[in-house]
Amino acid sequence: MMKKSIRAILSLVLVLVLGATMLVACNKDKGEETPETHTYSQTWSYDSSEHWHQCTLDGHTDVADKAAHVWDEGTVTTKATFTSDGEKTYTCTVCEKTKTETVTMEYIDVNFVKSDAEVQTKVRFTVAEAGTYYFRYEVQDCGFANGYYWINMNKVDGTLQQTDTNHAQAKIYDANKQLVKEGLQTQAAGQFMAVSDEDAQTRKGLMDNGVKYLEMPFVTPGEYEMIVTHFAGNNFTALDYSNGTFSKTNVTLWDNTYKYYSITLTDDILHGDINYGQNLQLDASPATGLTWQFVDADGNPVEKKDGDTDTYYSTPAAGTYYIVIYSATKQTGVTVSASLC
């Protein structure tokens, strides 16, 4: 009887020992670590934030070396353009997991605010390598008829050459990144570029309030300075009024340029004792090779009289209007007129 009891006790002990051994050796989904009984994959497993080595035993959830990703400085894999975003790729230096982020075009900001006097704003920047650079500035309280501005690009050390930048391929865009003007005129050795002597719609795009973008190709690396100079007031010449006709005599029209004139139609002129007519005719004499634009105070074209010539309009409502004349060749002694008829 005693021997049977001893054998029973020993059997129970053996069962308990074997059970404990199996628990230690398996550790299946128990959350207890027994490294000496596990083998781990040499390949990293990962999610968006961490990496680890996974236990290779079937059905095991144990992991080792779990840690957060260590991202490198990233590489631009798709370069941003003026009209579309780019992409930058980062790689974990431990497990080689990658992630991407959107990158946008980098702009050099130039603060530009109109005042009652001339305003000149400067920004210095480095051209590290030849290529296209973008500048962002803002026009405030300017509008079609009020003032104008110039853009000047110089080298800080004063050694700017004509070949350092490519003005012919420079472009100005509006806030919606729609092209307004292509090519900037070189005014002198200092690379002074006017952006005011334009047709009505281009001038409107340049002068309307809001953000503008300048795209400028640089050929020579170096330290540069961009200057935006605003001149208050307008550069429109008022036509003199007399007896239903607005006119200016002895005018010089320069070749390949625009000239701006303003007329003010009052209620007295349009509806006074003398009725001069319900149409407005534009004229310049003696002159040929001219292109006319008749626009309102915001620079929007006034519709021509149905079925008539480019210089004949139904009389608009009272207000200030502008006549923009483009001359292909230089002409002197010209009389510019707008007549009610």
Rounded to 5 degrees, what angle do the CA atoms 322, 232, 181 make? 60
* Residues whose CB falls within 8 Å of the CB of residue 193, separated by 6 or more in sequence, listed in order: 150, 151, 152, 153, 167, 170, 184, 185, 186, 187
pLDDT score, position 332: 92
Lowest mean pLDDT among 33-42, 173-182, 330-339: 33-42
The confidence score (pLDDT) of residue 146 equals 76
Q: How many CB atoms lie within 10 A of CB 245?
A: 17
CA distance 203 to 292: 15
When mean pLDDT is compared across 26-30, 212-216, 280-284, the lowest value belongs to: 26-30
Average pLDDT on 133-140 reads 86
pLDDT of 142 > 50? The answer is yes
Distance CA 316, CA 304 (A): 10
Q: Can you give the pLDDT at residue 234? A: 67
Beta carbons of 280 and 220 less than 8 angstroms apart: no
- pLDDT value of residue 19: 43
Give which of 128, 129, 135 is closest to 106, Cα–Cα: 135
In angstroms, rounded to a whole number, what is the distance separating the alpha carbons of residues 172 and 164? 19
pLDDT at 161: 83
Between CA 154 and CA 166 the distance in angstroms is 13
* pLDDT above 90: percentage of residues in the chain: 36
Burial 206-243 (b: 16+ CB within 10 A, else e): bbbeeebbbbbebeeeeebbbbbbbbeebebeebeeee
pLDDT for 183 beyond 80:
yes
Second CATH level (architecture) for the domain 108-231: Sandwich (2.60)
**Which secondary structure element, helix H or strand E, spans residue 334, and what is its range?**
strand 331-340
Rounded Cα–Cα distance for residues 71 and 307 (Å): 69
pLDDT at residue 27 in the model: 45
Query: Where are the domain boundaries for CATH 2.60.120.380 in the chain?
Result: 108-231, 237-340
- Cα 89 to Cα 52, 75, 121: the distances in Å are 21, 5, 37
Q: Which helix (H) or strand (E) holds 309?
A: none
For 45-94, what is each residue's pLDDT tens digit?
A: 999 999 999 999 988 889 999 999 999 999 999 988 888 899 999 999 99
Choose between 4 and 275: higher pLDDT: 275
Q: Does 115 score more than 60 pLDDT?
A: no
* Separation between Cα atoms, residue 124 and residue 226, nearest integer Å: 6
Share the mean pLDDT of the chain: 81
Q: Please state which CATH number belongs to domain 237-340.
A: 2.60.120.380
pLDDT for 195-253, tens place per residue?
667 888 888 888 888 889 999 999 999 999 888 777 766 678 899 999 899 999 999 99
For residue 228, report the phi and psi dihedrals to the nearest 5 degrees: -110, 120
pLDDT higher at 189 or 308: 308
Q: What is the mean pLDDT of residues 85-111?
A: 93
3-state secondary structure of 17: helix
**The pLDDT value given to residue 286:** 87
Q: What mean pLDDT comes out for the span 168-189?
A: 82
Classify the C-alpha dihedral 63-65-69-74 as positive or negative. Answer: negative
Nearest Cα neighbor of 323 from 305, 298, 296, 303 is: 296
